[in-house]
Structure 1
Amino acid sequence: MPVRSIPGGGQAWRRRTRGETLIRWAGWLIGVAIFVFCWNRISASTTWFFVWDAPRIAGDILSRATPPRWSYIDQLWRPIWDTLNIATLGTLFALIMAVPVAFLAARNTTPSRFLIRPVALLIIVSTRSINSLIWALLLIAIIGPGVFAGVIAISIRSIGFCAKLLYEAIEEIDESQVEAITATGASRWQVMAYGVAPQILPAFAGISVFRWDINIRESTVLGLVGAGGIGLQLSSSLNTLAWPQVALILIVIFVAVVISEWVSAKVRGAII
């Protein structure tokens, strides 16, 4: 326990040693220096005139966007339906691919911890590390623009997310149930079906609904790069400075996200 001497020959308790205090202050000094350096770099590449003028520009855009063009709603039903389809089909395809990857990545179900598990973990990390917009840009260059590119982009982005949470749930199962089924002479597939799957079904359902809720949000912006959905309408309205249409599209997106949040909350509540 660190102590320090006090007048009179006594000793008093100290929270940190002198070396720990110096290290702590050195860490603060390095952090402040990094912040100042980054702030200088940001300031040098920022046109501050536009920053100070931003409130006026925002007020001007708001005045132009009010009121929303409600008559434009008839042209948004199909795009919002495409957005829901992108999110739903993308989540479905991701789950189909994520389940086997999760079983191969979990320590207690993988056939090989030194060969197959690293490959499964690489798939999880690689699909999670790239944003869905970037996947959409790549897929548009490969298969062309449209809803199909958006579905594939959402599904690839979701594989790592779903597989990671699912393989963690597999590793946390009660092994006594697996041992009991194994003791009956069940095959490896029977152990998976009757010992592992029933234990992870609630987690699987929760992960599915949660990811679908996230994909609703992500699919609304995929149209900005040409991957279909309501984002395509938003992009075209922004390009033509049709601010009343932009306001209506943002309202529709907000309502769709709120409804998806309500649905996912109800489903998760029923599962839990």
Structure 2
Amino acid sequence: MSGSFFLRKRLNTLFFCALVLALTIIAIIITEYDVVKGFTSVPKAAEWAVSNFVPNEKAMDKLPDIIDKLLETLLVSIAATSTAAVFALVFAVLGSQKTGIGGPFSMISRWIATVFRNIDVAAWSMILLFSFGQNVLTGYLALFFCSFGFLTRAFMESIDEMSMSSVEALRATGAGYIHIVAHSVIPSSLPQLISWVLFTIETNIRQATLIGILTGTGIGFLFNLYYKSLNYASASLAVIAIVVAIMIIESVSNYVRRVIM
């Protein structure tokens, strides 16, 4: 019995590998992609990056401007995530299968979360550009809408996975819905909720760079400006600043997760 199970599993794995390989070959044929040229161009690209995409003394003069724009990007990302988390918690409580009030409210909450979550942050940026133009508000709202959809779904799953013992105990004492949510649901799932918020902040800092290119704000705007003006040294310094900031935020986030979990 076990032998046939492993054989069937191995055949399924081979089938999916063959399917992926076939799709890759079909995609190469349709797009007329030159695989050999693609691989042979990697050394030349690396050589160009080493010789051109490196900060120099003139680039260091741009460091104050880069840090200023980087802080703007970080603050917008944190503000958008924090605000979205508040709204997401309300919709998650209403839409949760364990704590939702049921009826159309639960369905509407889940539908709104699905819509907002499935629209990419770049798409949000381009949609909002028509209404708000190239400014910080556009980037903030794009991050807010995307974070709201993701966090609502994540919060719902966290609440649905919590133990119902404390909820049932409060219901037995005659506690109301708001009292149960405030004194049982949120405290029980708070570590998971905070973990999701920290993860979203990390993600938004990465995405804010792309948003900055589209909206003309933040560190993304500076990188785009330096790159298009062929100031590769300053552009590389902006990239290094982004990487360092993300690594610091991720380290702090991981530490907080270890403490609260």
TM-score (structure 2 length as normaliser): 0.87
> Is residue 159–residue 189 contact of structure 2 (8 Å, CA) maintained in 1?
yes
- Kindly report which structure 2 residues correspond to 1:91-240, keeping only aligned pairs within 5 A, or say none: 91-113=81-103, 115-240=104-229
Query: Structure 2 vs 1, CA of residues 238 and 181 (structure 1 numbering), >3 Å: closer, same or farther?
Result: same
Please state whether the residue corresponding to 2:190 is helix, strand or coil.
helix
Whether 1:85 aligns to 2:75 is: yes
> Is residue 151–residue 197 contact of structure 2 (8 Å, CA) maintained in 1?
yes
Query: Structure 2 vs 1, CA of residues 224 and 51 (structure 1 numbering), >3 Å: closer, same or farther?
Result: farther
Q: Give the C-alpha shift of residue 160 in structure 1.
A: 2.0
Moved >4 Å (runs of 4+): 18-32, 45-51
Whether 1:76 aligns to 2:43 is: no
> Is residue 61–residue 243 contact of structure 1 (8 Å, CA) maintained in 2?
no
Please state whether the residue corresponding to 1:97 is helix, strand or coil.
helix
Query: Structure 2 vs 1, CA of residues 35 and 94 (structure 1 numbering), >3 Å: closer, same or farther?
Result: same
Letter in 2 for 1:215: N
Query: Structure 2 vs 1, CA of residues 61 and 14 (structure 1 numbering), >3 Å: closer, same or farther?
Result: closer
Distance 2:189 2:200 in 1: 16
Please state whether the residue corresponding to 1:221 is helix, strand or coil.
helix
Distance 1:256 1:36 in 2: 39
Letter in 2 for 1:138: I
Moved more, 192-201 or 21-30: 21-30
Query: Structure 2 vs 1, CA of residues 171 and 243 (structure 1 numbering), >3 Å: closer, same or farther?
Result: same
Q: Give the C-alpha shift of residue 15 in structure 1.
A: 2.5
Q: What whole-Å deviation, never above 9, does each CA across 1:69-107 have from its counterpart, x for those lacking one?
A: 212102112201110111111101211210111112211
Letter in 2 for 1:56: K
> Is residue 54–residue 237 contact of structure 2 (8 Å, CA) maintained in 1?
no
Letter in 2 for 1:253: I
Query: Structure 2 vs 1, CA of residues 246 and 181 (structure 1 numbering), >3 Å: closer, same or farther?
Result: same
Distance 2:11 2:238 in 1: 55
Q: Give the C-alpha shift of residue 28 in structure 1.
A: 6.6
Distance 2:259 2:166 in 1: 25
Distance 1:162 1:65 in 2: 37
Whether 1:63 aligns to 2:51 is: yes
Q: Give the C-alpha shift of residue 46 in structure 1.
A: 5.4
> Is residue 221–residue 230 contact of structure 1 (8 Å, CA) maintained in 2?
no
Tell me the equivalent position of 1:255. 244
Distance 2:193 2:169 in 1: 23
Query: Structure 2 vs 1, CA of residues 112 and 83 (structure 1 numbering), >3 Å: closer, same or farther?
Result: same
Q: What whole-Å deviation, never above 9, does each CA across 1:158-216 have from its counterpart, x for those lacking one?
A: 11221122111211222221121112222211121122121111122221122112212
Unpaired runs of 5+ residues, structure 2, are none
Please state whether the residue corresponding to 2:251 is helix, strand or coil.
helix
> Is residue 140–residue 227 contact of structure 1 (8 Å, CA) maintained in 2?
no
TM-score (structure 1 length as normaliser): 0.84
Q: Give the C-alpha shift of residue 22 in structure 1.
A: 9.2
Tell me the equivalent position of 1:10. none
Query: Structure 2 vs 1, CA of residues 171 and 23 (structure 1 numbering), >3 Å: closer, same or farther?
Result: closer
Q: Give the C-alpha shift of residue 239 in structure 1.
A: 0.7
Percent identity of paired positions between Structure 1 and Structure 2: 25
Query: Structure 2 vs 1, CA of residues 64 and 270 (structure 1 numbering), >3 Å: closer, same or farther?
Result: same
> Is residue 150–residue 227 contact of structure 1 (8 Å, CA) maintained in 2?
no
Distance 1:231 1:55 in 2: 27
Q: What whole-Å deviation, never above 9, does each CA across 1:211-232 have from its counterpart, x for those lacking one?
A: 1122122112211112521000
Please state whether the residue corresponding to 1:108 is helix, strand or coil.
coil
Distance 1:23 1:247 in 2: 45
Query: Number of matched residues?
Result: 259
Tell me the equivalent position of 1:36. 25
